[in-house]
Structure 1
Amino acid sequence: MNHGWVAVVVATDLVYPAPCLEALREGAARDQVRSLVAEFESLTDPRGASGVRYRLSSLLALVVCAMTPAGHDSITAAAEWCWRAAPEELAAFGLPYHPLLGRYRVPSEKTLRSVLSRLDPAELSAAGFAYLTSLLSGERATPAPLMPDGGQEREQRRAHQAVAQADPVRRRRRAIAVDGKCLRGARRPDGSRVFVLSAVRHGDGITLASREIGAKTNEIPEFAPLLDQIDDADFAGAVITADALHAQHAHAAYLHERGAHYLLTIKNNQRGQARQLHRLPWEKVPVIHRDDARGHGRHELRLVQVVTVDGLLFPHARQVLRIQRRRRLYGAKKWSSETVYAITDLPAEQADAAEIAAWARGHWTVENTAHWVRDVIFGEDKSQVRTRNTPAVLAAVRDLIRSALKLAGYVNTAAGRRAHTERHRVLAFYGIT
């Protein structure tokens, strides 16, 4: 009998007993959940009007909270987190109350999978960024990090080291990195891999927008639709950094039309531009910026040269950057070298060599801060979820959690997740008390 009962639990939505109805009518907890759910209310519900039992905003808030603690990286783990919720916590999420049974309903794993598979990941990313923006603006107070003994001191020490190692260049413009990522564990029905293109802010690594790349296309045609999700207030005047794949004339024209600027890497995939850049008189150009860094078991030296140009084949190009990177492992005698070229439409009076070099190096924020954290801390590449939009939707959820922990003061995302293994800390973190 026990085994049969468990089978019913897995296949159906659960219900839990409620506290007294007077406490339910007070609705205090339900008002406080708006701090997380309010931005989700604007999302388009992909479900039909009939048979809808749970609000979309309640389900998404449950998923975000359930995947915040360490060890909850899958939909199955998120569903188990929901099943263990107390009645007052279910009331706070706005879940439906069954008056005849006297209990709250809890969504099953099947319900969560069905909803997540049909959501628009771009819409979810926009709602997540709106929530993070409200945290930055101070409309909602972000709680101080709740760490175990010694954890707070460790995080402060890491934050101090990060500031000390940060590039001291004072940047006059915002910078946004655009880069794609393959979700290695996911496959479409035709066997193709799932790719997600993201726009990540330099410095704090907050994801501004994301977009799933279709099975029969690539990153290039998705560049403009991705950046269309960013408001003009955050976009105008910003510098967009991207790799050589996006060194396209159409991309430069799009950014110029929207009042933004670019810093694009040029490689041999753009042969005409690459030839022009190689022919410039670099031997006569002095090294005007030098970056000598040591760490991660190696010594790295960057030499930066900048040339003001006019008449390049690339539209609106005003400066060309050449970075010579030399690396050597500690104890080794031989250096490995690499030369990288990049172009920008900013003139010298608006962006000096140090700023351009800082943007070029900061582009790797999207790899080190966003993609690496999702792969290693959230186990994204190990996930084999592949139904419809679910892989891209879960990527947006992970970005939201990672960014929220970052804004709360957690330099290390893994430490932030371990600090929220207790349920009441997760609810307090998102303003659900």
Structure 2
Amino acid sequence: MTLPLRFAPAALDQLAQVSAPAPLADAVRLFSFLDLLPDPRGVRGRRYPLSALVTAAAASVLAGARSLTAITEWIGDAPTWARRTLGFPVDPLTGAVSVPHPHTLRRLLVRLDGDALDRAIGAFLPARATPAGPGLRAIAVDGKALRGSRTATTPYITLLAAMDHDGHVLAQRQVSDKNNEIPAFQPLLSTIDLTGTVVTTDALHTQHAHGTYLRERGAHYIAQVKANHPGLFDRIRRLPWSEITLDHHDRTRAHHRLEIRRLKTAAFAHLDYPDARQALQVVRWRKNFTTGKLTIERVYLITSLPPGAATGVRLAAWTRGHWKIENLLHHVRDRTFREDDSKIHIGHLPRIMAGLRNLAIGVHRRDGHTNIAAALRHTARDYRRPLTALGLTG
């Protein structure tokens, strides 16, 4: 994926300039992206480089820090060589490396530009990844409320995120509440190269303007249709689905339940939605062996993919894969990082902490870890591990 114009040239030019012990020849260093963040501090009194402070916070979260207190404790306990690698100033007379007081870091993170940080993270993660293989890349868009982020004007803030179906966050944007996700959709995706992608969304984002925007950006879409779009929903629901050939059938048995999923597709000559070419029906049968309860759910979707552009297996994987953003991102932040239990609600702190957690999850997944909790414990046992993961050491 190409880097956003704001980050690509300067970031790549700086790769050979950042000093670190035994750097890898092809390392992509977080420093190169964080150096481009706007510094909210005054010109006077900048004792610690902005990139050093944010990189140290990021490294601590990679090692499992869940709170601002845990971050400052991790930095304070860091050995001298780690402090030097992070870029903290060295006393020329004694060789001692000082670290910031907890209030210094807190004051910075409260005022840090969350959009800029998320853009930097969204540029860093793809840059350190191996190039994607051929075929369309799936991206899910969904929002998450930060339950512990109550402010004087809102009960909580909501973050709208774009994540590929492998679990890597590509962009994130803060909105004031769930109802304001719609106008944030296009700004969220504006920093991502959407060429050769298929974007999956829930019914909230099945908007004509969104469909037009995605097609203009070179992306396809798979969008869920519910009763909040009554005309479109009624037309798709009333198709003769019982007469349409089955495209895909899947049967799984796990977690004390049996689940059967059936997918059918129907081509349209015209549908009142930008470039819509097919309608999809997904029928899910779930039987709980513990309670004996059987549930049947029918889901309807539309897509700009023309007939034959993707197999039934691929379409089923994309429709099911959309909810990975819940399991691979939101669930991990809630359960592993205890995000909803956090009482951080001052300034930009909730947004910044969420961004750092996205970075940690993305880095660990890029490095092949599927169990993020185990990856955090592994990383916490050696200060060199988070620094290496961020490209600071070899």
Amino acid aligned to 2:307: A
Work out the CA distance in 2 between the residues paired with 1:262 and 1:421: 40
Work out the CA distance in 1 between the residues paired with 2:233 and 2:130: 43
Q: Deviation at 1:102?
A: 5.5
Contact preservation (8 Å) 1:69, 1:421: yes
Q: CA separation of 1:28/1:377 partners in 2, compared to 1, >3 Å: closer, same or farther? A: closer
Which residue of the partner structure matches residue 213 of structure 1? 175
Work out the CA distance in 2 between the residues paired with 1:216 and 1:419: 36
Q: Kindly, what percent of the aligned residue pairs are identical?
A: 40
Q: Normalized against structure 2, the TM-score is what?
A: 0.88
Q: Deviation at 1:183?
A: 0.6
Q: How does 1:269-308 map to 2 (within 5 A)?
A: 269-308=228-267
Q: CA separation of 1:92/1:128 partners in 2, compared to 1, >3 Å: closer, same or farther? A: same
Q: Deviation at 1:392?
A: 1.1
Q: How does 1:187-336 map to 2 (within 5 A)?
A: 187-202=150-165, 204-214=166-176, 218-230=180-192, 232=193, 235-330=194-289, 332-336=291-295
SS of the residue 1:53 aligns to: coil
Q: Deviation at 1:259?
A: 1.1
Q: CA separation of 1:258/1:338 partners in 2, compared to 1, >3 Å: closer, same or farther? A: same
Contact preservation (8 Å) 1:272, 1:313: no
Contact preservation (8 Å) 1:300, 1:325: yes
Work out the CA distance in 1 between the residues paired with 2:388 and 2:345: 32
Q: Deviation at 1:333?
A: 4.3
Work out the CA distance in 2 between the residues paired with 1:355 and 1:90: 47
Alignment gaps of 5+ in structure 2 = 1-18
Which residue of the partner structure matches residue 186 of structure 1? 149
Which residue of the partner structure matches residue 302 of structure 2? 343
SS of the residue 2:135 aligns to: coil
Match of 1:44 among 38, 42, 47: 38
Which residue of the partner structure matches residue 358 of structure 1? 317
Contact preservation (8 Å) 1:41, 1:57: yes
How far does the alpha carbon of each residue in 1:311-341 deviate from its partner, in whole angstroms, 9 at most, with x for none? 2222211100001111001255442111100
Which residue of the partner structure matches residue 20 of structure 1? none
Q: Say whether residues 1:105 and 2:98 are aligned partners.
A: yes
Contact preservation (8 Å) 1:30, 1:93: no
How far does the alpha carbon of each residue in 1:54-91 deviate from its partner, in whole angstroms, 9 at most, with x for none? 11110011001112223x20011110111112222211
Which residue of the partner structure matches residue 5 of structure 2? none
Amino acid aligned to 1:378: F
Q: Normalized against structure 1, the TM-score is what?
A: 0.81
Q: CA separation of 1:287/1:426 partners in 2, compared to 1, >3 Å: closer, same or farther? A: same
SS of the residue 1:288 aligns to: strand
SS of the residue 1:199 aligns to: strand
Q: How many residues align?
A: 371
Q: Say whether residues 1:425 and 2:375 are aligned partners.
A: no
Q: Deviation at 1:172?
A: 3.4
Higher Cα Rg: structure 1 or 2? Answer: 1
Work out the CA distance in 1 between the residues paired with 2:349 and 2:291: 46
Work out the CA distance in 1 between the residues paired with 2:56 and 2:264: 51
Aligned alpha-carbon RMSD (Å): 2.2
Q: How does 1:85-234 map to 2 (within 5 A)?
A: 85-99=78-92, 103-137=96-130, 172-202=135-165, 204-214=166-176, 218-230=180-192, 232=193
Match of 2:335 among 376, 391, 394: 376
SS of the residue 1:240 aligns to: strand
How far does the alpha carbon of each residue in 1:379-432 deviate from its partner, in whole angstroms, 9 at most, with x for none? 111111111221111111101111111111211001111112222333333344
Which residue of the partner structure matches residue 146 of structure 1? none
Work out the CA distance in 1 between the residues paired with 2:23 and 2:151: 40
Alignment gaps of 5+ in structure 1 = 1-26, 139-169
SS of the residue 2:147 aligns to: strand
Q: Deviation at 1:110?
A: 1.3
Q: CA separation of 1:425/1:355 partners in 2, compared to 1, >3 Å: closer, same or farther? A: closer
Q: CA separation of 1:257/1:432 partners in 2, compared to 1, >3 Å: closer, same or farther? A: closer
